[in-house]
Amino acid sequence: MSVSVSPSSASPIHGGKLARVLSWLVVVVGLVMLVIGVSVYTVTSNQLADQHITVAAVTADDPGALAGKPVEGPFTAMAQVNAIRHHVAAATGGKTFGELPNVASSDGASYNADITADKSTDGQAHSKGEALSSADAKLYSARATAQQGSLLQASLLVSVIAFGVGALIAGLGLVVVVIGLALLATNRRLTVRQRD
């Protein structure tokens, strides 16, 4: 006498194994995401710490809550960005790099073109190659300060973004692990009910 197994009785067991494998796959993917996210956050923090940057005081009267602390995380990096922004604005009269005219040659000592009196900061006309006036030398210095400040701010903002991406990946990885574990628990309950 032969016993035949109907497809309907075999498929829940096969489906249970597939669900268990897929659930474990979800857990593993979540763990990988968690490790990658934590790694990105840690590497970014270590690289910032290796630069030995200390958060600058914004002003002597109002230095800021994080002034004097090492830049190692997203909050100290943003505090340093704000301090740089304040100091650059003070040095340039509130103008950005793009708002400051470029009147000097690359050496910063002479004019790069003929300047009419209305375009010069000292109200005098100047010829290309002539030594910069003290007012235009100050303008060139302010432009260089604005350029360095904007580059520093951009670099620190990239690290803040990296911290955010690392935290996002780690958080999503944790959620995916929880979902995978919930699927495993659900699969176990269904398997026990099918056996009963």
Question: How confident is the model over 119-148, as pLDDT tens digits?
Answer: 777 788 888 888 888 888 888 889 889 999
Cβ atoms 118, 97 nearer than 8 A: no
E-assigned strand segments in the chain: none
E-assigned strand segments in 56-174: none
**Whole-number Å distance between alpha carbons of 124 and 136:** 11
Which range among 132-136, 144-148, 154-158, 168-172 shows the weakest confidence by mean pLDDT? 132-136
**DSSP 8-state secondary structure symbol assigned to residue 60:** S
The percent of residues in the chain predicted with pLDDT above 90, rounded, is 53
DSSP 13-49: HHHHHHHHHHHHHHHHHHHHHHHHHHHHHHHHHHHHH
pLDDT of amino acid 137: 85
Cβ atoms 30, 174 nearer than 8 A: yes
pLDDT of amino acid 18: 86
Q: Which of 131, 135, 104 is nearest to 122 (CA)?
A: 135
Domains of the chain, by residue range, sit at 19-195
Model confidence pLDDT, tens digit, residues 87-104: 999 999 998 888 888 888
